[in-house]
Amino acid sequence: MKIIVTGGAGFIGSNFIFYLRKKYPDYRIVCIDKLTYAGNLHTLKGILNSENFRFVKADICDRKAVDPLFAEERPDIVVNFAAESHVDRSIENPEIFLQTNIIGTAVLMDACREYGIKRFHQVSTDEVYGDLPLDRPDLFFTERTPPHTSSPYSSSKASADLLALAYHRTYQLPVTISRCSNNYGPYQFPEKLIPLMIVNALNDKPLPVYGEGINVRDWLYVEDHCKAIDMIIHNGKDGEVYNVGGHNEMRNMDIVKLICKELGKPESLIEHVTDRKGHDMRYAIDPAKIHAELGWLPDTKFENGIKTTINWYINNKNWWESILNGAYRNY
């Protein structure tokens, strides 16, 4: 089996590559990554020269780079993690998100049509559904929840999802889509909530929390997400969407306080900042479909996953310190 993983030098993509190599050592994995600010080749340093692994620096929007690679490798499966994903950055500069997340997805699917694949898997987000009210804990996102986006980021991901489903219907491209809740775990770029708070707390810096910090997210440990994608690409049904949620709803403020407690840092480090524009209040996924059809359930409870994550950042300071000082860009 030969799998192309796009965005494989990023957070979830790199974890997925490590997961595949451990479970399927005979698979050939080709990683495509543009190495933008969030792509860190240092993350993959241990496998760059390994058998059955190839790294290619390329932009998924560049047909002149993508097409020859597909012609050479002839992949069986393509898993598309490559995306601009930070909401705040999408508010500042929407165009980059539209280019990478929509056009890039189209370029990949055109190559899949040209050279034939068994599966194109689009990694999406629960943010395409918008948000849920805080006073309705009985409500959850299902695969039938209509898209109702709040940011340029989520709009670009919803657009890519719709395009993928259109390619399935129009061209019979074997497409699957997963929409996951907020991931956390090793190798996450320290602009996201959990790694940002861990790194800042370790350095005794302020912990910036949007508004009152009452926004609720459903947290999914990254390895559980990797297991879900593994099940989908091997056994999922063409043209289907699968929600992947952690059943771990937490308020942002409670997570920050938990990190302070685990690190022995004072809550006085917490600093309330101006709320994000169009800030979604609550995300909550119902993963009943993927459980019923593929047997997936998350294995990691948040109280265990967050401790594992904190310990990883404590024990891997060289990784995130190279990001803070910019040295990772020179790897």
d(CA 329, CA 322): 8
Give the containing element (helix H, strand E) for 70. Answer: helix 63-73
Catalytic residue among 59, 129, 153, 167: 153
Find the length of the chain. Answer: 331
Helix axes 252-263, 193-202, angle to 10 degrees: 30
Identify the sign of the CA torsion 261, 263, 269, 270.
negative
d(CA 122, CA 80) in angstroms, rounded, equals 5
Distance CA(104)–CA(180), nearest Å, equals 20
Residue tagged active-site, from 59, 84, 126, 280: 126
Concerning whether 127 is annotated as a catalytic residue, the answer is yes
Residue 108 · residue 254 · CB < 8 Å: no
- The question of whether 138 is a catalytic residue gets the answer no
153 is catalytic: yes
Q: Residue 209's beta-bridge partner residues?
A: 272
**Catalytic (active-site) positions:** 126-127, 153
